Amino acid sequence: MIRVIVAVVVVLGAVSVAQFMKRRDASAPTQGGFQVPTQLDRNDFPEVTTPWLVAVFTSATCSTCADVFSKASVLACADVAVHEVEYTAAKSLHAKYGIDAVPALVVADDRGVVRSAFLGPVKAQDLWAAVAECREPGSTPEPQLGHEHDR
């Protein structure tokens, strides 16, 4: 009789644990990943003739966006144009390129092909290294920086 009671208690315990695990697995699904564009129309940006374009998609209400744009701004030179695409000023470009999260930073070559991108906050050294790697492949010890969106 005691064996039957112990068996019933063990089975009830197992059923309870199974129900708990099932409810835990039935939680809200995780969000899908955000995307960055893979191609830009360089005519959408004022700096059409520079070999490289760093486009930073931002929102005026986003403090992280301001930080990312500030870090990108120091890259501006004769070969690298840096352009902020602020949401309220350029809603059509955000829509055209499917930008649904900011900050989104892309590095595009002279044909508009996106060679590197970052979503969210970025360390200055990672951004600068990614742009250096785009401009001269093999020049940095971490050539995968800015390619997390490819995974």
Q: For 75-127, how does the pLDDT look when each residue is reduced to its tens digit (9 = 90+)? A: 999 999 999 999 999 999 999 999 999 999 999 999 999 999 999 999 999 99
Looking at per-residue pLDDT, the higher value among 142 and 113 belongs to 113
d(CA 67, CA 71): 6
What's the length of the chain?
151
Looking at per-residue pLDDT, the higher value among 94 and 17 belongs to 94
Residue 27 has pLDDT above 60, yes or no: no
- Superfamily designation of domain 42-150: Glutaredoxin (3.40.30.10)
Instruction: Give residue for tokens 């520079």.
Output: 50
d(CA 51, CA 47): 9
d(CA 73, CA 125): 13
Residue 146 has pLDDT above 80, yes or no: no
Domain ranges across the chain: 42-150
- Region 125-136: mean pLDDT is 91
- pLDDT of 137 reads 85
Helix H or strand E segment including 8: helix 2-25
